[in-house]
Amino acid sequence: LQTEALNQVEAAEDVKALQDVRVAYLGKKGPITEVLRGMGKLSKEERPVIGQLANDIREDIANAIQEKQEKLEEVALEKQLEEETIDVTLPGRPVKVGGPHLLTSIVEEIEDLFIGMGFEIKEGPEVETDYYNFEALNLPKGHPARDMQDSFYITEELLLRTHTSPVQARTMGKKDGKEPVKMICPGKVYRRDTDDATHSHQFTQVEGLLVDKHVRMSDLKGMLDKFAKQMFGDEREIRLRPSFFPFTEPSVEMDISCKVCNGEGCSICKGTGWIEILGAGMVHPNVLEMAGYDPEEYSGFAFGMGPERIAMLKYGVDDIRHFYTNDIRFLKQYHKA
């Protein structure tokens, strides 16, 4: 019996087969248990001899099973390790990394540039009151210049802001007419414009405002020139054209030359070789007065630029709609490594 059991232990090929051997020989219904159970029927002399023998055999088989089990487990572990080996020489799988949207990058670039010139960053609401969007900017109800910025109204008194200029009025209003202001405000604006290559019904603006004693038009011109050169490089030309905004007097519009497409048949520059990127001017005395400043003592300049147009010009993007349609092939071109 012992030899037979030990042979079977040796022959067991896996843990399951070994378990079967254990049950067969050492289990409750196995031959050894049976022998031990029948001890009562043996004579007094036979009992210790047979008992000792049965126990020895049981121990031998149990030891053999234990040894075999350890061996089988070791083999199984080795097999598993072999199967799960990692080949460290295989090339890694590339991780797809996102990046900021081109428009976000441009706005951040503009912010950095103005922070470098000492401007603070301010924010204002996109749902604006008629008062701040128009009236505080010298555009009373019924003023014909309101038509320049066709608006999305929510109620009679609330609208989606048509420009970032209301943040000028909000910022000045908090200063009690005494402290100087030097701020920019980036943000989204909305107009009922028909979408085309250079116009969108929702776009971005960055407003700028500087109010202090003795601020002059030449300060505005110098700062715009510095901005343009830092943003586009010294080779670009700028031109200021007289313009009209009710909240500035005098008012100008600034164009930048289109070097990317030479202006020839180019949709950004409409063949003229120039693209308008901002409106600006000296803050109108009425606007200063409404915000609590004495226009005899204080003066200021303001500007509002379109980052989409700036990005188009800087990177040769030929249609403003690329910024909003989220075509990954377009966006990827501008991800910095």
Residues that bind ligand FA5 (CB under 6 A): 163, 165, 191, 193, 199-200, 203, 205, 245, 248, 276-281, 302-306, 308-309, 320
Query: In the structure encoding, which two tokens stand for residue 105, read together?
Result: 């990058």
Q: What torsion do the CA atoms of 104, 109, 112, 117 make, to the nearest 10 degrees?
A: -130
Nearer to ligand FA5, 30 or 281 (CB): 281
Nearer to ligand FA5, 8 or 151 (CB): 151
Residue 113 near residue 227, CB atoms below 8 Å? yes
Q: How far is the CB of 209 from ligand FA5 (least distance, A)?
A: 8
Residue 32 near residue 21, CB atoms below 8 Å? no
Q: How big is the chain, counted in residues?
A: 337
Q: How far is the CB of 211 from ligand FA5 (least distance, A)?
A: 12
Q: How far is the CB of 276 from ligand FA5 (least distance, A)?
A: 5
User: Whole-angstrom Cα distance, residue 112 to residue 184?
Assistant: 11
Nearer to ligand FA5, 30 or 187 (CB): 187
Closest chain position to ligand FA5 (CB):
306
Q: Which one, of 140, 107, 289, lies nearest residue 208 by Cα?
A: 107
Residue 243 near residue 253, CB atoms below 8 Å? yes
Nearer to ligand FA5, 8 or 168 (CB): 168
Question: Which residue carries 């059991």 as its tokens?
Answer: 5
Residue 130 phi/psi, 5° resolution?
Answer: -55, -35
Nearer to ligand FA5, 68 or 163 (CB): 163
Q: How far is the CB of 287 from ligand FA5 (least distance, A)?
A: 9
Nearer to ligand FA5, 146 or 199 (CB): 199
Q: Which one, of 51, 20, 23, lies nearest residue 35 by Cα?
A: 51
Q: How far is the CB of 91 from ligand FA5 (least distance, A)?
A: 45
List, as one string, the DSSP characters of 285-318.
HHHHHHTT--TTT-EEEEEEE-HHHHHHHHHT--
Q: How far is the CB of 122 from ligand FA5 (least distance, A)?
A: 14
Nearer to ligand FA5, 187 or 279 (CB): 279
Give the residue ranges of DSSP H helices in the chain: 2-11, 15-26, 31-37, 46-83, 102-116, 130-133, 166-173, 217-232, 285-290, 307-315, 322-325, 328-332
Q: How far is the CB of 137 from ligand FA5 (least distance, A)?
A: 8
Q: Which one, of 252, 256, 269, 257, lies nearest residue 317 by Cα?
A: 269
Q: How far is the CB of 161 from ligand FA5 (least distance, A)?
A: 10
Nearer to ligand FA5, 21 or 185 (CB): 185
What separation, in Å, do the N-terminal and C-terminal C-alpha atoms of the chain show?
75
Nearer to ligand FA5, 21 or 206 (CB): 206
Q: How far is the CB of 335 from ligand FA5 (least distance, A)?
A: 23
Question: Which residue carries 């030899």 as its tokens?
Answer: 3
Q: Which one, of 302, 304, 305, 283, lies nearest residue 294 by Cα?
A: 283
